[in-house]
Amino acid sequence: MNATGATEGDGPLAGRHIVLGVTGGIAAYKAIELCRRLIDAGAYVAPVLTEGAQRFVGAATFSALASEPAQSSLFDGPHPIPHTRLGQRTDLVLVAPATARVLSDLTTGRSDDLLVATLLATEAPVMVAPAMHTEMWRHPSVVDNLALLRRRGVVIVDPESGRLAGGDVGEGRLAGPERIVDRAIELLTAGSEPAALPAGARPLPAASGDVGMGWRGRRVLVSAGGTREAIDPVRFLGNRSTGKQGHALAEEAAQLGAAVTLVTTSELPTSPAIERRQVTSAAEMADAVLEAAPSMDLVIMAAAVADFTPAAVADCKLKKADGAPSIELVPTQDILAELGRRKPASQVLVGFAAETDDVEANAAAKLERKGADLLVVNDVGAPGVGFGHDTNEVLILGHSGERISVPLTDKSAVAARVLECAGALAAARAASS
C-alpha cells in the first residue's frame, strides 16, 4: 500500500522497487506525473529529492503519491545509512530530471547528497533522463559524461525537442513521463518474455498497449564499418568509416535484450552477447548480410559499402617503377536495395547515408529508391559528425513524413534514437495488422 492508501501489485512493474531521484531543474514538476505513472504500473516507489529539486517541487507532494515518504538528507532521516538501505533493496534507480550536475557527480563519484550516494551504493540498474537547456546538452563536458555513463551501462533516456524554460525552444526538454516509464518497463521486464522465437520473422515490439517494445528475443542485424576492395596484396580502395556508429547500434540493441548479429569490417571490440561476423570486402558483406537478413525482425545497414571494386586483383604488388596502373572498376552489389526487394512484410529495414551536399534531398531520394523503411543521414563534412568521430548528428527520415533531427551527441545516443524510431514503426505496424 502506498502513502495515499492505494494498493500496489497490479501492472507490469508489480513487485518492483524503484528509487525515483528528482534533481533541481524546472522539469522537476514532471516527476510528479512520472511518480504517479510508476505507481499505476505497480511499482513500489521511494522518492529521493535533492536540495535543488525542493526549490521547484515539495517533498510533501511525493510523500503523498509515492510508496513511502520522500527523503532528501543523508543525516537527518530515521535511518543511519539511508543510501545503502535504498541502494541495496531497489530494482532500479531512476533519476528524472537528471541535471548536468548530477551527471557529472555520477561520472566522477563525487557524493555529497543522498541521491548521488544512493547511485554509488547500488548494484541495481541505473536509468537517467537528462533535462537542460540546449547549450548545456550540447556542451562537450556533458556529451563526454553521457558517453562515459553509457559505457558503464547506465541507461540514458534522451531528451526531446520542444519548449524550454524562459521561452526558448530546442533540444533538452525532459522525455515524456510515458516514454520514461516504458523504458523502465523494458529494462525491468526484459527477462519475462520467452527468448525463443517461432519460425520466421516477427514484428519487433510486443504489441500490448503502452507496455514498451519488448526487445527481448527479437532478432536484430546490424552492419558496420567501411569495406576494403583489394587492388593487389598490399593496397585497397576504402573509405573513412571506422564502424563506431554501427557498433554503437549493435551494443544498444543488445543492452535492450535483442539477439544481435553484427556483420562488421571493424576491429572494434564487441560484447560477448553479440554474434559477430567479420568481413572485409563488399562482396563478403553482401554474402553475410543477405544470408542472415531473412530471419531478422530489424535490419540496420549502417556499413559504408564501396560502390565500386576493381574488376581484377593483381597477384603481386604493383610497382611504382612500372608506372601508374590503370584500374578498371565495376559496381558492387547494392546491398540495401537488395534487402529492400527481399524484405519480409514484418521486417523493419533501416538504411544509412553519408552526404556532403543537398543532404536531406539526397537522403529522401535514397529512401524511396532503396525500399528502406527509415533512412538515417548525416553530413560527414560537418565538424564532429560521422567518420572517425565519437559524436554524430543525424536526420531520420520515414515514408510517412517522419523527420526526426538528432543534434550533435555521442553515437550511443544516436543509436538509442534510431532504435526508438524503428521500434515505434514496428509497433504501429503490429497495432494495425
∠ CA 94-98-99 to the nearest 5 degrees?
A: 165
Nearest C-alpha neighbor of 149 from the set 104, 88, 212, 201 = 104
The catalytic residue among 239, 362, 378, 392 is: 239
Burial of 136 from C-beta contacts in 10 A (0-12 / 13-18 / 19+): middle
Number of residues in the chain = 433
Integer Cα distance of 373 and 296 in angstroms: 14
What gap in Å lies between CA 319 and CA 305, rounded to an integer?
27
- The Cα–Cα gap between 245 and 226 comes to 11
Query: Could you give the CA distance from residue 297 to residue 299 in angstroms, rounded to a whole number?
Result: 7
Provide CB contacts within 8 A for 397, sequence distance 6+: 360, 363, 364, 367, 374, 375, 376, 377, 403
Helix axes 244-255, 411-432, angle to 10 degrees: 60
In the numeric block, which cell numbers belong to residue 221?
542485424
Residue 362 annotated in active site: no
What single DSSP character describes residue 161? E
Residue 408, C-alpha cell as written in the block: 550533435
Query: Over 351-399, what HEC string results?
Result: EEEEECCCHHHHHHHHHHHHCCCEEEEEECCCCCCCCCCCEEEEEEEEC
Among 200, 235, 213, which residue's Cα sits nearest to residue 320?
235
**Residue positions annotated with a catalytic role:** 239
